[in-house]
Amino acid sequence: MRARNLKLTDIFDFDADGGEMTLAGERVVLMDAVAMGLLRSQLITAFGMTGARSIFTRFGYTHGYRLAEAMKTAIPWEDEREWRVAGGRLHRLHGMVSFEPVKQSTHSPPPFAEAVWHDSYEADQHLLHHGQAEECVCWTLAGFASGYLSKAQGRTVYCIEESCRGKGDPVCRMVGRFREDWPEAQQAFFTFYESDCLNEALSTLQAQLKKVDRRLAQRRRELESEQDESGLVIRSLSMKTLLGQARRVASVDTSVLLQGESGAGKERIARFIHDASGRQAGPFVAINCAAVPESLIESELFGHARGSFTGATSDRPGLFESAKGGTLLLDEVAELPLPMQSKLLRVLQEREVRRVGENKTRSIDVRLIAATHRDLAAEVKANRFREDLFFRLRVIELQVPPLRERPEDILPLARQALARSAAREKLPLKELSPEASRRVLAHPWPGNVRELLNAMERALVLSPGKRIEASDLPPDVKQPAAPARHLGEQRTLAEIEREAILTTLAAERGSRARTAERLAIGQATLFRKLKQYQAEGHQVAPAA
Ligand code: ZN
> Ligand 1 mean position to 189 CA, how many Å?
15
> Ligand 1 mean position to 484 CA, how many Å?
95
> Ligand 1 mean position to 134 CA, how many Å?
12
Separation CA 207–CA 320 (nearest Å): 28
> Ligand 1 mean position to 31 CA, how many Å?
20
> Ligand 1 mean position to 120 CA, how many Å?
6
> Ligand 1 mean position to 204 CA, how many Å?
27
> Ligand 1 mean position to 96 CA, how many Å?
11
Three-state secondary structure call for residue 217? helix
> Ligand 1 mean position to 153 CA, how many Å?
24
> Ligand 1 mean position to 176 CA, how many Å?
14
Residue 372 β-bridge partners: 259
The distance of Cα 477 from the centroid of its chain, to the nearest Å, equals 42
Spell out where 192-278 has E strands: 256-259
Contacts of residue 154, defined as CB under 8 A and 6 or more positions apart, other chains included, come to none
Separation CA 165–CA 149 (nearest Å): 23
Upper half-sphere CA count for residue 108 (Cβ side, 13 Å)? 0
Q: Is 249 exposed, middle or buried (0-12, 13-18, 19+ CB in 10 A)?
A: buried
CA-to-CA separations, 273 to 189, 230, 248, 277, in angstroms, rounded: 44, 14, 9, 6
Q: What is the pLDDT of residue 222?
A: 55
Residue 160 β-bridge partners: 175
Three-state secondary structure call for residue 354? strand
Beta-sheet pairing, 113-118 with 172-178: antiparallel
> Ligand 1 mean position to 68 CA, how many Å?
22
* CATH code linked to domain 237-401: 3.40.50.300
Residue 317 β-bridge partners: 303
> Ligand 1 mean position to 391 CA, how many Å?
66
Q: Does domain 404-478 have CATH number 1.10.8.60?
A: yes
> Ligand 1 mean position to 141 CA, how many Å?
8
Q: Which of 325, 314, 319 is nearest to 300 (CA)?
A: 319
The helix (run of H) or strand (run of E) holding residue 125 is helix 121-130
List per-block mean pLDDT (blocks of 10 residues) for the chain, which spans 544 residues.
94 93 94 94 89 92 96 94 94 94 87 94 94 94 97 96 95 95 89 74 77 71 50 76 90 93 91 92 93 89 89 90 95 94 94 92 94 94 95 93 90 88 86 91 90 92 89 83 46 80 81 87 90 82 70
> Ligand 1 mean position to 67 CA, how many Å?
21
> Ligand 1 mean position to 123 CA, how many Å?
5
Task: Specify whether the CB–CB gap between 432 and 440 falls below 8 A.
Answer: yes
> Ligand 1 mean position to 131 CA, how many Å?
13
Helices marked H in 186-287: 190-193, 197-225, 237-250, 266-276
> Ligand 1 mean position to 408 CA, how many Å?
68
> Ligand 1 mean position to 53 CA, how many Å?
13
> Ligand 1 mean position to 190 CA, how many Å?
18
> Ligand 1 mean position to 313 CA, how many Å?
69
Q: What is the pLDDT of residue 224?
A: 55
> Ligand 1 mean position to 345 CA, how many Å?
65
Residue 38 β-bridge partners: none
Q: What is the pLDDT of residue 454?
A: 92
Q: Which of 520, 513, 242 is nearest to 401 (CA)?
A: 242
Contacts of residue 359, defined as CB under 8 A and 6 or more positions apart, other chains included, come to none
What 8-state DSSP symbol labels residue 179?
G
- CATH superfamily, domain 3-210, is Trafficking protein particle complex subunit 3 (3.30.1380.20)
> Ligand 1 mean position to 80 CA, how many Å?
29
Beta-sheet pairing, 284-288 with 256-259: unpaired
> Ligand 1 mean position to 169 CA, how many Å?
9
> Ligand 1 mean position to 25 CA, how many Å?
29
Q: What is the pLDDT of residue 309?
A: 83
> Ligand 1 mean position to 122 CA, how many Å?
7
> Ligand 1 mean position to 1 CA, how many Å?
30
Upper half-sphere CA count for residue 159 (Cβ side, 13 Å)? 33
Task: Specify whether the CB–CB gap between 37 and 96 falls below 8 A.
Answer: no
What are the residue boundaries of the structural domains of the chain, listed by start? Answer: 3-210, 237-401, 404-478, 493-535
| Helix, strand and coil in the chain, % to nearest 5 | 55, 15, 35
> Ligand 1 mean position to 130 CA, how many Å?
14
Separation CA 251–CA 218 (nearest Å): 13
Q: What is the pLDDT of residue 206?
A: 79
> Ligand 1 mean position to 88 CA, how many Å?
14
> Ligand 1 mean position to 66 CA, how many Å?
22
Separation CA 393–CA 347 (nearest Å): 12
> Ligand 1 mean position to 162 CA, how many Å?
9
- Count of CB atoms within 10 A of residue 290's CB? 13
Task: Specify whether the CB–CB gap between 368 and 359 falls below 8 A.
Answer: no
> Ligand 1 mean position to 205 CA, how many Å?
27
CATH top class, domain 493-535: mainly alpha
> Ligand 1 mean position to 163 CA, how many Å?
7
What 8-state DSSP symbol labels residue 383?
T
